[in-house]
Amino acid sequence: MTELALRKDAARKAAFLRRKPLFDAAPAAQAGYLSEVLAGYRGVPLSGFMPIRTEIDPTPAMIEASAYGPVGVPVIVAPATPLLFARWTPDTPMTKGTFGALVPEQPEYFEPEILIVPLLAFNRAGGRLGYGGGFYDRTLEMLRAKRATLAIGFAFSGQETEELPMDATDQPLDMIVTEQGVIEVAG
């Protein structure tokens, strides 16, 4: 393992430990600010995510957004490949996908222009520490090569950190939304 990989691994372990008590103490209205942000993009195709483990829950905002335009969820099809996005509504029959995240039983794929991105840790410069598979980094790179694509990190405010081990393949977030507010990333 490289020095950077070791630092990222240690940062992930620490971030998981920090996130657990945040999840346990989280208010029911976690997605209020996310709903406010998405209201400014009504009708724009977007992807949220189905929360796993101790992730913050974006589904209330996704439900609201689905009344105005297409909403999807990520689907992992193979290691080291970009994500695909399957259309989702609150009534979509779901099944367990890779890593236990729910995915539509009969996926209908599309390309979103906004991605609500889960994470373990973030900084105010738009840095994001994910789970290490590189799925969102590959996906954002691919989508951004085609068109403007907005990446919104969604996390508990306590997941913020100043130091994040980053490398050249890490795709930046455009904004971070927490249960306590919106953090604009300085360009």
**pLDDT tens digits, 127-183:** 999 999 999 999 999 999 999 999 999 999 999 999 899 999 999 999 999 999 999
CA–CA distance, 139 with 120 (Å, rounded to integer): 18
Q: Which of 85-120 are b and which e, b meaning 16 or more Cβ less than 10 Å from the residue's Cβ?
A: bbbbeeebeeeebeeebbbbeebeeebbbbbbbbbb
CATH code: domain of residue 140: 3.40.50.10420
CA–CA distance, 150 with 143 (Å, rounded to integer): 10
What is the token pair recorded at 18? Answer: 């920090």
**Residue ranges making up the domain that contains 60:** 3-184
> Considering its fold, how many domains does the chain have in total?
1
Residue 149 contacts residue 143 (beta carbons within 8 Å): yes
Helix 32-39 with 59-66: angle, nearest 10 deg: 30
Average pLDDT over residues 111-132: 96
Instruction: Write the CB contacts of 176 (distance below 8 Å, at least 6 apart in sequence).
Output: 122, 124, 126, 152, 153, 154, 155, 160, 182, 183, 185
CA–CA distance, 85 with 74 (Å, rounded to integer): 5
**pLDDT tens digits, 6-42:** 999 999 999 999 999 999 999 888 999 999 999 999 9
Residue 161 vs residues 1, 31, 88: alpha-carbon distances, Å: 24, 21, 32
